Amino acid sequence: MKKYLLTVLLAIFAFVARAQNDGDIIKVGDQMPAFTIVSDDGKQISSASLKGKVVLINFFATWCPPCQKELAEVQQKLWPKFKDNKNFQMLVIGREHTDAELAKYNEKKGFTFPLYPDKNRAIFGAFAKNLIPRTYLIGKDGKVMYAGKGYTEEEFAGLMDKIGASLK
């Protein structure tokens, strides 16, 4: 009986470990993938133009409850603290959303940071296969310093510290 229970527990742990790694394409230490994003006003931002900056990339969806909590924290704490730093760029990207959907969403939420559409997962697909919210912190050297999925207050506080330290 003990042998059977141990086998079941090991199988469960193996499944959970495999599931947690599912969907990752970009990991800490990897170079930021090349992409171009178009803002709602038609302005294009390429990943190449972000070289030398600390870049925070967040993927979300308007229907995702953890995303809502995270974006509220971004609005309340992160954006006010770092928005005026010329060495910082933040890209909040709506996975599978259009400009029109994001404009309507932002009208409801009142965010003061820009939202960028990724209707066909073109940019998201360069970073991951699934699971949101996803957050990536890119260093001035273009390498991923932090890669997170999901949202917790503790991780968010740690992310704020990482951004602050990398901007010094």
Domain that holds residue 47: 21-165
Q: Given the DSSP bridges, would you call strands 144-149 and 115-118 parallel, antiparallel or unpaired? A: unpaired
Q: pLDDT tens for residues 56-99? A: 999 999 999 999 999 999 999 999 999 999 999 999 999 999 98
Tell me if residue 44 falls in helix, strand or coil: strand
When divided into structural domains, the chain yields a total of 1
**Residue 133's domain is classified under what CATH number?**
3.40.30.10
126 is a domain residue: yes
101 is a domain residue: yes
1 is a domain residue: no
Give 90's strand partners.
Answer: 56
How does DSSP assign 104-151, residue by residue?
HHHHHH--SS-EEEETTSTTHHHHBSS-SSEEEEE-TTSBEEEEEES-
State the pLDDT at residue 22.
56
pLDDT of 143 over the 60 cut: yes
Q: pLDDT tens for residues 26-50? A: 999 999 999 998 766 677 889 999 9
67 is a domain residue: yes
16 is a domain residue: no
